[in-house]
Amino acid sequence: MKPFRLLLFPFSLIYGLGVMARNLAFDLGVLKSTEFDIPIISVGNLSVGGSGKSPMTEYLVRLLKDKYKISTLSRGYGRRSKGFRLVEQSSLSTETGDEPLQFKRKFKDITVAVCENRVDAIKRLRTDHELVILDDAYQHRKLRPGLSILLFDYNSISNFKMLLPAGDLREPVWEKDRADILVITKTPPGLDQADRQEILSMVKPRNQQEIFYSYLEYGNLKPFNCDMEERTLLSIKVTTQIILLTGIANPAPLLSEIGGYTQLVTHHKYADHHNFNKKNISKLVQAFNSAHAEDKIIITTEKDAQRLGSAEVQELLKSLPVYYLPVEAEIHEPEKARFNELIEKYAAEPTVDH
């Protein structure tokens, strides 16, 4: 443990006692959880950021959007607005949060809403929606979803875990037992049976919990400026200079993916949900202009691209080759059909035993 985290350990004990007392109050019915009569699917995790909640939420949207009138519902982390708000394609990330804006721009025909109080939000949404997908709501126990999907990052699953603020856990690991489905995210595409058995021995799912494994699948590089064309990742050569901009919790998988094509990467790394300002982007532009490679491009994530919407930032980037790299979650075969079946069955018959 890093020394400064060791100093925070007493505060983690206090935090942990508070979390356990709160969860016990909900378990015993002292604090009430509201249930609704429409299907509600929750996607969440136990740690702070980086487990792949957004790609999993988008997976569920793709699976269900043509069969049901659905809405995603998020808190809207990082937004400056308050209360219930419907997200529009023209919204700014400062009004809605970056992930909800990404959902709306990718899936134009679904409803995307943000609200701190999920119960109040669903009271508004239930009248004209058939299903709600909650993004990052595992700790929002005032609302009881019908189906709860809990994510674990494969790359940190074996790491020693501590509660906030000394560690990254929002809740003790045993609170995983509340979930209906466990998904190990960001696994290698070639995950074998030995890896699965090792994961099972660490996660220890309950008998009634089903466990699945997912991996990330990167798409083509999409132009941030409309006057450019898409590029495939295969168009990146060993001589291509990449200026990489990230403000996400865990950029390691992205670095690994790009590193498979070129090692000429200059990484401008910021904290998760960082609101990029003129100074940040000026530094990025300077790095691009200083690069000597004949082929040089700026790459960011799809989530980060939502936070490049201010007029002054767009002015700085308008003449540069800026691309964002979409990523999707995929469930490993042969379990994919079973995963889809569970989701679709719940959507059609929203009854789950907890």
Chain segment 116-160, per-residue pLDDT in tens: 999 999 999 999 999 999 999 999 999 999 999 999 999 999 887
Diameter over CA atoms, the chain: 65
Nearest to 104 by CA among 115, 116, 113, 95: 113
Using DSSP, state whether 350 is helix, strand or coil: coil
- 3-class secondary structure, 150: strand
Query: Rounded mean pLDDT of 110-118?
Result: 98
304-307 contact pairs (CB < 8 A, 24+):
304/98, 304/245, 304/246, 304/247, 304/248, 304/276, 305/224, 306/93, 306/98, 306/99, 306/101, 306/102, 306/105, 307/93, 307/98, 307/247, 307/273, 307/274, 307/275, 307/276
Token pair recorded at residue 7: 């100093």
> What does 89-144 look like in DSSP terms, one character per residue?
TT--HHHH-HHHHHHHHH-TTSEEEE-S-HHHHHHHHGGG-SEEEEES-TT-TTB-
Residue % of the chain over a pLDDT of 90? 93
Is 72:129 a contact under the CB 8 Å cutoff?
no
Number of residues that make up the chain: 354
Residue 80: count other Cβ atoms within 10 Å of its Cβ.
12
- Report the pLDDT value the prediction gives residue 2, as an integer from 0 to 100: 66
| pLDDT, tens digit (0-9, with 9 covering 90-100), for 168-189 | 999 999 999 999 999 999 999 9
With a threshold of 0.85, does the pTM exceed it? yes
Confidence of residue 64 (pLDDT cuts 50, 70, 90): very high
Q: Choose among 204, 191, 179, 203: nearest CA to 334.
A: 191
Lowest-confidence region among 58-67, 288-297, 345-354: 345-354
pLDDT band at 113 (very low <50, low <70, confident <90, very high): very high
Query: What is the tens place of the pLDDT at every residue in 6-54?
Result: 889 999 999 999 999 999 999 999 999 999 999 999 999 999 978 999 9
Average of per-residue pLDDT across 248-255: 94
Q: Which residue has the tokens 């990489």?
A: 244
Residue 61 tokens read as: 């949207």
Q: What is the pLDDT of residue 96?
A: 97
Q: What is the pLDDT of residue 351?
A: 65
